[in-house]
Structure 1
């Protein structure tokens, strides 16, 4: 459904270009929820935003993006207007601050629809159904964003982002500022959007793999602007092969395991500077398996069906 090939998205700074997404290739299947995880600064939010809202200081340096067989002109902000909301949409990372605070929510939605040449009345019935789906009363349309709680704002932005039933929905860190119970409700709602056919496929971006374990069909792990490992959720969580994925998982607490029984092991060191990323494997400076061969670009290794990693130290299953 979505094909991303050799995508490069760099940030322009006074010191040069930060290679936030550097030669990334992956796909999302029709009807799939792909989880995207990694440390802060790994490029996952840049990737998500670049597919919808690429604007300065982010720059397109190459690659190709196909959605339903049609090439998306992501490098051209204006040309992408015809695709946003209709074909591809995003729930932004700071969704609770996404709406215009000086406009009532109904008027804000009307402005968004006007920019697409769509009348408010033509989608009003769908809007009211969508509000009911996410447990919001119709009266919120006459309220200002400041009058809503954080969870209500999050759900309202979810409604707006999916109002035109896009093929692909990108959810960027939508649970990061919410309490645990609200996180669960938001995750279930996003999953329901896919199961009800409101959207075809979803990219769910988060740093919390435990969230993805509950809802994702596959998980893609990013590190320092590149992909480390991609596989089915069960493969990534139960049989990770890339050293980074393994260390990322062991740094998470386990339910029922007391801190006196097992001390969490973090990942030593810091991610590399992406102004001048190291040659070869970008994880090599922090990797316990580092060897001289890691100074060369790591190969794509197919571990088993639907499970791949970029690493010199992993071997395919016999």
Structure 2
């Protein structure tokens, strides 16, 4: 069952020199009970995509498409309607989460402000829940009485996770939550996200990262974005072990592997540079960097082709019949 269904979503940025097509016709769904991964290079549209679901601020604009969440189109909600479901039904652990908490307020005051905004009136009950959740993420209940600046980076990350999930949202967006953490803390964060689902605190998670190795550990399915377009989507195991799109293959080849020394096998980066989304080329957006480019790639946008069970990719190499 789909908790979120996104169809042909287009999110642009208005600038003095034109519109930046950050997300340009993306379609996917997030099913109840799954971790859905979104990956790609910096600037591919990952964060724009997920932030458009929860809070759109100028210069970000919705140009077209739908995002149906529990029967409602998130793109058409009023600010008041969006505010009511934010943190209660749909929540986000933001990028740079370690700096997301108000440094002038204690953790318990931050939580109380959030809970009161959503109709809670018993502060003692809210603070009791806060201390229970802090214990769940291996933080002392005393953290509730501390300011964010008194916490280490890892502690702030976990405190932010508690704040974002305190009201038991159905869908949790984790936007690059491991990017500034050491490997040990990354593992703790991933284990906590799994724990939140096991305990029923959240129903589904969108996990955004540039690190495919992390998605192999947490995600059930993965979508690869390139230049605002979906390149490939499917079960994580298939994406990692049998990628269909040239971009996905190059991303995986650029990752270091355990037990393989550099002198025996060098890593290969992706040639060229990401394209400008202000004036993207016609055809396939990856053709300027693709080692398999054909003439039709420069003129025709590739169809979405089924390449496996629940596995799709957008590439002319895979055939010409659209199976979207």
Short-chain TM bin: over 0.9
1:59, 1:75 within 8 Å by CA — same for their partners in 2? no
**Equivalent-residue separation in structure 2 for 1:79 and 1:313 (angstroms):** 44
1:253 equivalent in alignment to 2:250: no
**Equivalent-residue separation in structure 2 for 1:74 and 1:229 (angstroms):** 28
Q: Report 1:17-166 matches (<5 A).
A: 17-73=19-75, 76-119=78-121, 120-166=123-169
**Equivalent-residue separation in structure 2 for 1:93 and 1:159 (angstroms):** 15
**Equivalent-residue separation in structure 2 for 1:77 and 1:296 (angstroms):** 38
1:296 equivalent in alignment to 2:300: yes
| RMSD, aligned α-carbons | 1.3
1:276 equivalent in alignment to 2:279: yes
Cα shift at 1:76:
4.0
1:148-181 alpha-carbon deviations (Å, 9 max, x no partner): 0001110011001111111100000000111110
Cα shift at 1:72:
2.2
1:184-220 alpha-carbon deviations (Å, 9 max, x no partner): 0001101111122110000000000001101110111
**Equivalent-residue separation in structure 2 for 1:234 and 1:310 (angstroms):** 18
1:267, 1:286 within 8 Å by CA — same for their partners in 2? yes
**Equivalent-residue separation in structure 2 for 1:74 and 1:280 (angstroms):** 30
1:52, 1:80 within 8 Å by CA — same for their partners in 2? yes
**Equivalent-residue separation in structure 1 for 2:238 and 2:198 (angstroms):** 23
1:217, 1:233 within 8 Å by CA — same for their partners in 2? yes
The alignment's TM-score, normalised by the length of structure 1, stands at 0.96
**Equivalent-residue separation in structure 2 for 1:217 and 1:246 (angstroms):** 19
**Equivalent-residue separation in structure 2 for 1:152 and 1:128 (angstroms):** 14
Structure 1 residues 47 and 74: alpha-carbon distance in aligned structure 2, compared to 1, 3 A threshold: farther
1:287 equivalent in alignment to 2:278: no
1:219-256 alpha-carbon deviations (Å, 9 max, x no partner): 11000001100010110000001000000000101100
**Equivalent-residue separation in structure 1 for 2:82 and 2:108 (angstroms):** 24
1:229 equivalent in alignment to 2:232: yes
Cα shift at 1:73:
4.0
SS of the equivalent of 1:153 reads helix
How many matched pairs?
A: 316
1:239 equivalent in alignment to 2:242: yes
Structure 2: where are the runs of 5+ without partners? none
Cα shift at 1:78:
3.8
Structure 1 residues 242 and 117: alpha-carbon distance in aligned structure 2, compared to 1, 3 A threshold: same
Cα shift at 1:67:
1.5
Cα shift at 1:121:
3.3
**Equivalent-residue separation in structure 2 for 1:56 and 1:222 (angstroms):** 23
1:217 is aligned to 220
1:241, 1:309 within 8 Å by CA — same for their partners in 2? yes
Q: Report 1:160-175 matches (<5 A).
A: 160-175=163-178
Structure 1 residues 223 and 74: alpha-carbon distance in aligned structure 2, compared to 1, 3 A threshold: farther
1:57-89 alpha-carbon deviations (Å, 9 max, x no partner): 211111111112233246644431011011100
Structure 1 residues 76 and 287: alpha-carbon distance in aligned structure 2, compared to 1, 3 A threshold: farther
**Equivalent-residue separation in structure 2 for 1:207 and 1:77 (angstroms):** 30
**Equivalent-residue separation in structure 2 for 1:78 and 1:174 (angstroms):** 27
1:21, 1:46 within 8 Å by CA — same for their partners in 2? yes
2:313 is aligned to 309
Cα shift at 1:41:
0.2
2:108, 2:130 within 8 Å by CA — same for their partners in 1? no
